[in-house]
Structure 1
Amino acid sequence: MHSLLIDHLSTAVVQLNNEMKIEYLNPSAEMFLHVSRRRIYGQDLSAAFTEDDESIRALKSAIVSGHPFTKREAKIILTDNRTVFCDYTVTPVMGSINTTESLIIELHARDRVKRISQEDDLIASHETSKELIRGLAHEIKNPLGGIRGAAQLISRAFKDEDLKDYTQVIIEESDRLRDLVDRLLGPRQLPQKKELNIHRVIERVKQLIEVESHGEIVIDRDYDPSIPEMIGDESQLIQALLNVVRNAMQALLSQESNDDRRITLITRTLRQFTIGAKRHRLVCKISIIDNGPGIPDHIMKTLFYPMVSGRADGTGLGLSIAQSSIHQHSGIIECKSRPLCTEFNILIPIETHSVEKEEH
Structure 2
Amino acid sequence: MHSRSFIQEQIAPYQQSLANHLVTAVIILNGDLAIVYANPAAEALLNKSLYRLYSTDSEVIFANTSITTARLEQLLATGQEFTDSDIMVELSPNHRFTAEITASSVEFKKTPHVLLELKQIDQQKQISLEVFQHQQWLAARDLIKGLAHEIKNPLGGLRGAAQLLSKEVNNDQQEYTSMIIEQADRLTNLVDRLLGPNQLPQIQAQNIHGILEKVCKLVSYSNEKNIHLLRDYDPSIPAVECDQEKLQQAVLNIVNNAIQAIDEGNTITLKTRIASNKTIYGKRIKLAVHISIIDNGPGIPSEIQDTLFYPMVSGRSNGTGLGLSISQTLINQHQGKLSCHSIPGHTEFTILLPLKQQALKQQPLPQALLSQENKL
Q: TM-score range, shorter-chain basis?
A: 0.7 to 0.9
Separation in structure 1 between the aligned mates of residue 331 and residue 16 of structure 2, nearest angstrom:
44
Structure 1 partner of 2:325: 320
SS in 1 for 2:214: helix
The question of whether the paired residues in 1 share the 8 Å contact of 2:266 and 2:297 is answered with: yes
**Residue 13 (1) aligns with residue 13 (2):** no
Task: Name 2:7's counterpart in structure 1.
Answer: none
Question: In structure 2, how many angstroms separate the alpha carbons of the residues matched to 1:123 and 1:204?
Answer: 29
Mapped partners of 1:2, 1:209: distance in 2: 65
Q: Could you tell me how far 1:221 is from its partner in structure 2? A: 2.7
Q: Residue 278 of structure 1 corresponds to which residue in structure 2?
A: 283
Give runs of aligned pairs for residues 23-34 of structure 1, distance below 5 A: 24-26=39-41, 30=44, 32-33=45-46
What's 2:336 paired with? 331
Deviations 1:175-218 (A, max 9, x none): 22211101001111011112223232222222323332246112
Structure number, greater radius of gyration: 2
2:25–2:38: 8 Å Cα contact kept in structure 1? no
Q: Could you tell me the percent identity over the aligned residues? A: 43
What does 1:106-125 correspond to in 2, within 5 Å?
A: 106-125=117-136
> Structure 2: how far apart are the matches of 1:105 and 1:303?
38
Residue 214 of structure 2 aligns with which residue? 204
| CA distance 1:203–1:3, change in 2 (3 Å) | farther
Aligned residue among 272, 287, 290 for 1:267: 272
Q: Which amino acid aligns with 2:89?
A: I
Q: 1:251 aligns with which of 252, 261, 276?
A: 261
The range that moved more, 311-320 or 63-72, is 63-72
> Structure 1 residues 203 and 8, CA, compared in 2 at 3 Å: closer, same or farther?
farther
Aligned length: 337
Matched, 1:217 2:227: yes
Question: TM-score, length-normalised on structure 1?
Answer: 0.77
Aligned to 1:189: 199
Q: For the residues of structure 1 that align with 2:242 and 2:196, how far apart are their CA atoms?
A: 17
Per-residue deviation at 1:346? 2.4
Question: Is contact 1:290–1:341 with CA below 8 Å preserved after alignment?
Answer: yes
Distance in 1 between residues matched to 2:15 and 2:251, nearest whole Å: 51
- How many Å separate the matches in 2 of 1:17 and 1:127? 47
Matched with 1:42 is 51
Matched, 1:143 2:158: no
Aligned residue number for residue 355 of structure 1: none
Q: In structure 1, what is the Cα distance between the partners aligned to 2:104 and 2:233?
A: 45
The residue matched to 1:288 in structure 2 has which SS? strand
Q: In structure 1, what residue type is equivalent to 2:156?
A: G
Q: Are the counterparts in 2 of residues 220 and 262 from structure 1 also a CA contact under 8 Å?
A: yes
For residue 254 of structure 2, give the secondary structure of its aligned residue in structure 1: helix
TM-score, length basis structure 2: 0.74
Question: What residue number does 2:144 align with?
Answer: 133
| Residue matched to 2:99 | 86
Alignment deviations for residues 133-191 of structure 1 (CA, whole Å, 9 cap, x no partner): 11211211111111222223234455x55554543443333222211101001111011
Give the distance between the partners of 1:329 and 1:163, measured in 2 at CA. 50
SS in 2 for 1:147: helix
The range that moved more, 117-126 or 102-111, is 102-111
**1:66–1:94: 8 Å Cα contact kept in structure 2?**
no
> Following the alignment from structure 1 to structure 2, what is the Cα–Cα distance between the partners of residues 200 and 14?
50
Decide whether aligned partners of structure 1 residues 135 and 248 sit closer, same or farther in structure 2, where only a CA change above 3 A counts.
same
2:11 aligned residue = none
Provide Cα deviations, 1:15-70, integer angstroms capped at 9, x if missing partner: 669673566414x963x55x4x8xx3522267xx9332884857799899988654
Cα pair 1:330 1:348 within 8 Å, conserved? yes
2:239 to 229, 234, 238: 229
Q: Find the residue that maps to 2:335 and give its secondary structure.
A: coil
- Report the AA paired with residue 97 of structure 2: V
Query: Matches of 2:106 and 2:335 in 1, distance apart?
Result: 47
SS of equivalent residue, structure 2 residue 52: coil
Shift of 1:94: 5.5
Is the contact made by 2:193 and 2:322 (CA closer than 8 Å) also made in structure 1?
Answer: yes
Stretches of structure 1 lacking an aligned partner (at least 5 in a row):
254-258, 353-360
Shift of 1:122: 1.5
Aligned residue number for residue 176 of structure 1: 186
Q: Which secondary structure state, in structure 2, belongs to the residue aligned with residue 221 of structure 1? A: strand
Residue type of the alignment partner of 2:25: V
- Provide the C-alpha distance between the structure 2 equivalents of 1:295 and 1:344, rounded to a whole number of angstroms: 11
SS at match of 2:35: coil
